[in-house]
């Protein structure tokens, strides 16, 4: 049991003293890398090490997400500071024989920023990492999330010890307020203020709630933090409990996040065993414990009142605010709800101070934001950048640009509640206010890059399909309105719409925004309204039924190689060898297989 700051420091010293290895192999064991067999890689590597009796000098560390998911599985070797990417099981031998035994680097397995550049030995040489600044993700990829010792080595629970033994509740809340930290789950509400309100509510019982119901399609930062650094969240929640005077915490986590939940349970157990949860934490009279509540698959439960109703065993429907959860929350008691990424910022702010945190970011948006970069982009993964970084920097410097020589069309940010940013606005700095000015929002951090081939009406329809399905049904503007909007979009894309439909879409959209009960409905029309604003011509093409939906062949270029004919899944291409081929346009399903197969670019897009 750790019952004082001195005991914690001594434990850290002991761990560092005891665990001295010649080499440490950090292998990513996040969901994405495990899907590419990183767990087998770990097993094979451990077996090799054991077979050669090297257990005492080589340590294999199963870490959380490195962020560079598109290059997984990733292996980092410390202290040599060498990173290998896209590993296959057969590469284990080369790395073991050459690097581990003989100390020779294996250049073939390193990352290259482009094909004609020399391989980058470490993260410092990878453009993907150069503009990143990691606060929330600081331990992801650095420690084994299933060992509390790894967290202690990186100053784990020191912030909690400092708070409990040296700070009053008000001093703590002032520190968080001074840091200007704002909620990272989408709303952007000042965190310190929320803590202050919940502290001010008088009650015999209060609750600290961590919102881990990450539901935006394409956003996975909360999951990565829980998978890669679960103790940070526990530590921050205990600190939050002390600030507002609560002794119970709850984590509401998505049912689909199996690995994150499993690691959370391990971390909770370890925290209890070592006295960071339970009674008399750090020898003070402060008690706190945390319970995990599993979600059951409903996007709207990310809304805090809906989340609370779901934890109480009801349908996850939101209720009217006020009263806010800080007054009437879980079981009718004052509750403080914060998102995972918000919590991950708390321990560093306490350790390094509010001035340090404020030195990162822009005037009104401080610190960093984690984005899940995906879609038509070279480097897919999780990136954490200072507020104020521009889209251009993320897309071209970190993301490596658009693959296959294509041009960018738009960036979708903020998920089903957000909007699109077009090419002209890519030099916009990313912070809460600048995004609002261009008609988008920060959201929880999904950032989807779309290339020139993307059909914006289809994208808008995709998001509406999502929101109308996830609408809880409590208020009619959202329940019926989003359904009608989806039907109109569906009619348009089936070439059965009329120009009048576009007016209807706009009217409905504005009405749903004004009249809906919660954030889901109020923001549901955004993807449609924002694509209508910037890509009106694409909507017109559908409304006036002049959109072409079939591929065709340029007779001047076709060499009659038959490649397109062979790949066509619906057999709608006719032609003999060395003769010009023809697509029967009425049968074409526009899958694009012929376009990809053609060696001479003779296929014309719709």
Partner 1 sequence: MRKDVINTKDLEQHHLDSLDAYIDTLDKSRKEESLIPTLYKAQNLFGYLPHNLQWYIAQKLNLPSAHVNGVVSFYSFFSEKPLGKYTVSVCMGTACFVKGADKVLDRILKKTQTEPNEMSEDGKFTVKDVRCIGACGLAPVVTVNEKVYGNISAQQMEEIISQYQEEDND
Contact range with partner 1 by CB under 8 A, out of 215-223, 318-326, 387-395, 542-550: 215-223
Radius of gyration of the chain (CA): 26
68 backbone dihedrals φ, ψ, rounded to 5°? -90, 65
> Restricting to residues 397-416, which ones interact with partner 1 according to CB under 8 A?
412, 415
Q: Are 39 and 89 in contact (CB under 8 A)?
A: no
* Least CB distance to partner 1 at residue 527 (A): 10
Complex with partner 1: residue 71 or 434, whichever CB lies closer: 71
From 96, 220, 288, 343, residue interacting with partner 1 (rule: CB under 8 A): 220
Beta bridge partners of 120: 111
Complex with partner 1: residue 86 or 105, whichever CB lies closer: 86
From 1, 97, 279, 297, residue interacting with partner 1 (rule: CB under 8 A): 297
Q: Are 574 and 562 in contact (CB under 8 A)?
A: no
> Could you say whether residue 339 binds partner 1 (CB under 8 A)?
no
Contact range with partner 1 by CB under 8 A, out of 17-25, 112-120, 367-375, 501-509: 367-375
Complex with partner 1: residue 288 or 371, whichever CB lies closer: 371
> Could you say whether residue 233 binds partner 1 (CB under 8 A)?
no
> Restricting to residues 26-45, which ones interact with partner 1 according to CB under 8 A?
31-32, 35-36
The verdict on whether omega for the bond into residue 322 sits within 30 degrees of 0, i.e. cis, is yes
85: three-class secondary structure by DSSP:
coil
Complex with partner 1: residue 110 or 449, whichever CB lies closer: 449
From 374, 532, 568, 588, residue interacting with partner 1 (rule: CB under 8 A): 374
> Could you say whether residue 299 binds partner 1 (CB under 8 A)?
yes
What's CA 495's distance to the chain center, in Å? 35
From 139, 180, 191, 376, residue interacting with partner 1 (rule: CB under 8 A): 376
x-marked contacts with partner 1 along 529-568 as a string, rule CB under 8 A: ----------------------------------------
Q: Are strands 289-294 and 248-253 parallel, antiparallel or unpaired?
A: parallel
Q: Rounded to whole angstroms, how far apart are CA atoms 527 and 574?
A: 40
> Could you say whether residue 364 binds partner 1 (CB under 8 A)?
no
From 161, 218, 275, 477, residue interacting with partner 1 (rule: CB under 8 A): 218
Complex with partner 1: residue 163 or 430, whichever CB lies closer: 430
Of 476, 465, 519, 513, which Cα lies nearest the Cα of 300?
519
Complex with partner 1: residue 195 or 542, whichever CB lies closer: 542
Q: Are 20 and 57 in contact (CB under 8 A)?
A: no
> Could you say whether residue 196 binds partner 1 (CB under 8 A)?
no
Complex with partner 1: residue 155 or 453, whichever CB lies closer: 453
Q: Rounded to whole angstroms, how far apart are CA atoms 75 and 27?
A: 5
Complex with partner 1: residue 96 or 463, whichever CB lies closer: 463
* Least CB distance to partner 1 at residue 192 (A): 30
Q: Please tell me the chain's helix, strand, coil percentages from 3-state DSSP, rounded to the nearest 5.
A: 45, 15, 40
* Least CB distance to partner 1 at residue 552 (A): 19
From 275, 318, 334, 381, residue interacting with partner 1 (rule: CB under 8 A): 381
x-marked contacts with partner 1 along 426-465 as a string, rule CB under 8 A: --------------------x-x-x---x----x--xx--
Name the token pair of 212. 């881990």
* Least CB distance to partner 1 at residue 36 (A): 7
Q: Rounded to whole angstroms, how far apart are CA atoms 240 and 57?
A: 40
Q: Are 70 and 379 in contact (CB under 8 A)?
A: yes
Name the token pair of 77. 């070797």
Q: Which residues of 44-73 are buried (b: 16+ CB within 10 A; e: fewer)?
A: bbbebbeeeebeeebbbbbbbbbbbbbbbb
Residue found under tokens 């934001």: 369
Complex with partner 1: residue 187 or 217, whichever CB lies closer: 217
Q: Give the interface size with partner 1 as a residue count (CB under 8 A).
A: 53
Q: How many CB atoms lie within 10 A of CB 445?
A: 27
> Restricting to residues 236-265, which ones interact with partner 1 according to CB under 8 A?
255-257
Which H or E element spans position 248? Answer: strand 248-253
Which H or E element spans position 208? Answer: strand 207-212
Q: Are 206 and 370 in contact (CB under 8 A)?
A: no
Q: Rounded to whole angstroms, how far apart are CA atoms 87 and 44?
A: 12
**Binding interface with partner 1 (CB under 8 A):** 31-32, 35-36, 69-72, 215-220, 223-224, 255-257, 293-299, 310-316, 372, 374-376, 380-381, 412, 415, 446, 448, 450, 454, 459, 462-463, 466, 472, 569, 591, 593
């Amino acid at each position: 049991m750790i019952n004082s700051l001195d005991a914690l420091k001594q434990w850290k010293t002991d761990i560092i003293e005891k665990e001295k290895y010649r080499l440490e192999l950090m292998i990513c064991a996040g969901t994405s890398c495990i899907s590419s067999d990183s767990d087998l890689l770990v097993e094979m590597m451990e077996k090799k090490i054991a077979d050669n009796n090297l257990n005492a000098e080589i340590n294999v560390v199963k870490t959380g997400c490195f962020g560079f998911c598109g290059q997984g599985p990733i292996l980092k070797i410390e202290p040599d500071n060498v990173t290998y990417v896209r590993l296959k099981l057969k590469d284990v031998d080369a790395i073991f024989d050459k690097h581990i035994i003989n100390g020779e680097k294996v250049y073939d397995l390193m990352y290259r920023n482009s094909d004609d550049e020399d391989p980058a030995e470490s993260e410092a040489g990878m453009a993907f990492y150069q503009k990143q600044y990691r606060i929330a993700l600081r331990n992801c990829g650095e420690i084994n999330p299933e060992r509390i010792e790894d967290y202690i080595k990186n100053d784990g629970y020191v912030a909690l010890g400092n708070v409990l033994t040296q700070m009053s509740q008000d001093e703590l809340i002032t520190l968080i307020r001074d840091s200007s930290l704002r909620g990272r789950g989408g709303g952007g509400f000042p965190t310190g203020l929320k803590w202050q309100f919940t502290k001010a509510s008088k009650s015999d019982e209060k609750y600290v709630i961590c919102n881990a119901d990450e539901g935006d399609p394409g956003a996975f930062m909360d999951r990565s933090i829980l998978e890669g650094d679960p103790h940070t969240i526990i530590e921050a929640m205990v600190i939050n409990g002390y600030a507002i005077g609560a002794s119970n915490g709850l984590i509401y986590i998505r049912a689909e996040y199996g690995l994150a939940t499993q690691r959370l349970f391990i971390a909770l157990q370890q925290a209890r065993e070592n006295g960071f949860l339970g009674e008399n934490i750090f020898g003070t009279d402060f008690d706190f414990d945390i319970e995990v509540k599993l979600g059951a698959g409903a996007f709207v439960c990310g809304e805090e009142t809906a989340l609370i109703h779901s934890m109480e065993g009801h349908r996850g429907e939101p209720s009217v605010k006020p009263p806010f959860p800080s007054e009437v929350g879980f079981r009718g008691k004052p509750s403080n709800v914060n998102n995972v990424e918000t919590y991950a910022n708390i321990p560093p702010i306490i350790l390094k101070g509010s001035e340090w945190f404020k030195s990162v970011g822009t005037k009104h948006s401080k610190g960093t934001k984690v984005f899940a970069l995906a879609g038509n982009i070279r480097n897919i993964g999780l990136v954490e950048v200072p507020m104020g970084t521009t889209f251009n920097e993320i897309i071209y410097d970190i993301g490596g640009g658009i693959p296959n020589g294509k041009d960018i069309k738009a960036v979708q940010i903020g998920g089903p509640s957000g909007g699109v940013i077009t090419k002209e606005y890519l030099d916009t700095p990313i912070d809460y206010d600048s995004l609002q000015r261009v008609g988008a929002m920060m959201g929880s951090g999904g950032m989807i890059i779309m290339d020139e081939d993307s059909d914006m009406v289809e994208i808008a329809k995709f998001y509406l399909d999502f929101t109308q399905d996830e609408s809880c049904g409590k208020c009619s503007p959202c329940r019926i309105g989003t359904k009608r909007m989806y039907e109109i979009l569906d009619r348009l894309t089936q070439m059965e719409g009329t120009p009048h439909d576009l007016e209807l879409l706009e009217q409905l959209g504005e009405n749903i925004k004004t009249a809906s009960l919660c954030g889901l409905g109020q923001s549901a029309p955004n993807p449609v309204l924002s694509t209508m604003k910037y890509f009106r011509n694409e909507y017109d093409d559908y409304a006036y039924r002049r959109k072409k939906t079939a591929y065709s062949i340029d007779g001047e270029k076709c060499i009659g190689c038959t490649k397109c004919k062979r790949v066509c899944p619906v057999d709608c291409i006719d032609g003999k060898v060395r003769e010009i081929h023809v697509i029967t346009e009425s049968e074409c399903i526009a899958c694009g297989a012929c376009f990809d197969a053609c060696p001479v670019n003779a296929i014309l897009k719709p």
